[in-house]
Structure 1
């Protein structure tokens, strides 16, 4: 029984039919199990996430990993141990230059991107719509960020031609004398100068190493320690920047007055994104579609974070926090997703770093909140590989439901798109279904174990369906979540 008498209530829909893949665009190569969640506790959703499930609005789904064309592995980042890479640092500096001065980086033409697919686009994740959607909701589109590696370039000065040089010196009187001025040093190649400077630095380091052995220096001061993620985020930001980035906590379920007041601005960002990236006509991205996709939640209490604003980029960051109760005590799990205008990919990557920093900030209030979940990692889709760059991170084994470092998993995924990631042949699913009779069902507003339900409904032919559902959610969840039976 759930704490405080609260239950999760779901309807299971199976997953035998294939549908269009949002990654490789295969018309019927994507397979997943799905269920409609009328209500769900925080703990149940946490346990489902750790078994490969995720949600779109109130629709909860789990890819059939060994059958689908593009296997999707749940990925989480160790937020407390995350250190930005060189690319992440460059990205944060670009964002800060824009926030402080409005400076836009000059970028060369992006290479290697798919035809007709902007590098900063949010990748579409196909979600199988339930065959009997209680609210007739279209779940055909689920979005995810796809960013590409940073391509920083600097402005270079164009070489001058002899004609240009002649024009510059037409009014200059030459000095008397013949040949090279003996009082001036000889001209030297830039390559030789760089080599000389490098040798000087090496000699200086050797001298410092020798002196340190004779007179050991005191322990490193805090100024010599590597910069933290938070320091990179706030670095070079003046007290009065040109643009400001604010994060507001707004309750979306049930909707608060602040959520209602900001709803239209958030919807406009979503609509512009759908039109620009997915080429939707203006009348297709409706308010109801936006609400059921990004705002509706089966969780007890949900919050909607708004981040304003990158002026014409209007970058909107949405966090769905899963809270244990209305007293706003954070649970041990946070899931973040981003909807954004078609902006430069450095803003997308910069936002992910900021979300990881925000997770660390929340962890000070809730010690259990230590992971940043990035949704699904698809090794067979080049546009999804960026998620693996946020390390240290783990992937979820689709057979044992254990977490393994991504470094251990990548060699196996290079060989096969689908792989049992846990190399231990003896390892198994610790929460595998053992007793079908203990699965809880909700029948005629009455909670009962499946064994009692089967006795009441003699001759019922749903045992295989219930067994499939319970195997997917695991014994622990099956004994807490109520499976609706008509």
Structure 2
């Protein structure tokens, strides 16, 4: 058996058990169940891609999978088709709100934000893992095992609508009236007196009214023409199109303003930590600490530096580079949002062979009203689209778990087109088809085709690879060498959860 990936294996310890723990969604003290979890000493990006496509998710180096039929709030893996994404009206409002703040410094009034709750397993980690080293691993293979392991290359937040009172709508002007017509409109908070109208329509001597955004575009075009004319360049004629604005155009609207340099988004590798990550570590941690205390009501001693490292900085993912992959490579990163020279938000992401996976988002509480959770998700979708130009397979944006039984988490379904992962067939089904099923039942088999099965169902547990005393061997060899051990049921359960291919690549630690 040869080494996989960048001369490294995925090495995990599997922990069985069905103990319930407190649910971060409905707050049930014993209602949240995982099939158990795995402590990952190291992991290739392809193995993690395959695991999240079977409903797994990581919190630091701990990887877990909910028991969908048993847990109080079933958690369905959700992905957005980034290339076909079009921002909704609410998304456009969020982008415009940020652009307005960047260009004019107008911070909206504070609003109540929902909690980012994809971190529910943060404190549900396993017992202290065994020390395992990649170096000096011996490999034992049986004759019926193939000779090669293939190289298989937030805190999200929910932005609630403001509950401020809606201003009453003005009565529309009658079609015909004379100068003596008086319109009186009175509400609890507004009194209007309108004396108006000759019924002759718009004043023909005046130019027709135009939208403010069209006037702004015209002024920008005139400035460009003056600059180009001064340089002796004839300005191109503007192209008129009925195509809707792209996500990138909405994001970049503020970049035409001279104050756009106020906001900078920096991508820094967190594992192994880059020099830029190390230099900004303390500033990033201080934002996390403030966030946890303000949003999650943590006591000051809980969001410690070691907890921050374990939860959001440590990652099992190996840094990998591929000729047809993105320029920065694959692995774990922090996407830092710098405003006026200081960090105001950090998106923790994994860049994998076919997706950008959102891990968590934290931000400075002073900027709660900017809806930074939703804003960062839109930026990460745009980032996924940018990476797809470098790596054609990388075209999805994973938003973690969709929890239909928790209304605050349904917002993830609005980043469309989107799919949910069927917990039985492990196939993708469009959100539109899933919602009626989830309205009827918290748990549902999303793929309604009874013949659709799990293509990675375990056929031969004996082919699963295990690691024992730094020696790699198929489980069938291990079980023959140690006949007195009764761990077949546990290995069978592990293999069924990770799937046949992963079981034949990942090393399952055996003490």
Q: Is the shorter-chain TM-score for this pair beyond 0.5, marking a shared fold?
A: yes
1:67 paired with 2:63, answer no
1:307 paired with 2:336, answer yes
Q: What residue in structure 2 maps to residue 418 of structure 1?
A: 443
Q: What residue in structure 1 maps to residue 427 of structure 2?
A: 402
Distance change (3 Å), C-alpha of 1:244 and 1:52: same
Q: What residue in structure 1 maps to residue 50 of structure 2?
A: 47
- Summarize the alignment of residues 61-460 of structure 1 with structure 2, pairs less than 5 Å apart: 61-106=64-109, 118-123=112-117, 125-127=119-121, 129-134=124-129, 144-151=155-162, 185-187=179-181, 189=183, 222-241=240-259, 244-301=262-319, 302-310=331-339, 314-322=343-351, 331-336=353-358, 337-342=360-365, 343-344=368-369, 346-460=371-485
Output one character per residue of 1:235-261: Cα deviation in whole Å (capped at 9) or x when no partner: 244432176221222222222221111
**Contact 2:80/2:397 (<8 A) preserved:** yes
The alpha-carbon deviation at position 98 of structure 1 amounts to 0.4
Query: Residue 455 of structure 1 aligns to a residue in which SS?
Result: helix
In structure 1, what is the Cα distance between the partners aligned to 2:163 and 2:261? 22
Query: Residue 117 of structure 2 aligns to a residue in which SS?
Result: strand
Distance change (3 Å), C-alpha of 1:234 and 1:87: same
TM-score normalized by structure 1? 0.80
**Contact 1:99/1:242 (<8 A) preserved:** yes
TM-score normalized by structure 2? 0.76
**Contact 1:23/1:381 (<8 A) preserved:** yes
The alpha-carbon deviation at position 411 of structure 1 amounts to 0.3
Distance change (3 Å), C-alpha of 1:155 and 1:314: farther
The alpha-carbon deviation at position 428 of structure 1 amounts to 0.7
In structure 1, what is the Cα distance between the partners aligned to 2:446 and 2:12? 29
**Contact 1:87/1:149 (<8 A) preserved:** no
Q: What residue in structure 1 maps to residue 10 of structure 2?
A: 8
In structure 2, what is the Cα distance between the partners aligned to 1:225 and 1:311? 34
In structure 2, what is the Cα distance between the partners aligned to 1:154 and 1:124? 32
In structure 1, what is the Cα distance between the partners aligned to 2:45 and 2:109? 44
**Contact 2:263/2:340 (<8 A) preserved:** no
The alpha-carbon deviation at position 423 of structure 1 amounts to 0.4
Output the aligned Cα RMSD. Answer: 3.0
Query: Residue 18 of structure 1 aligns to a residue in which SS?
Result: coil
* Aligned length, in residue pairs: 418
Q: What residue in structure 2 maps to residue 24 of structure 1?
A: 26
The alpha-carbon deviation at position 103 of structure 1 amounts to 1.0
Of 281-290 and 247-256, more deviation after overlay is shown by 247-256
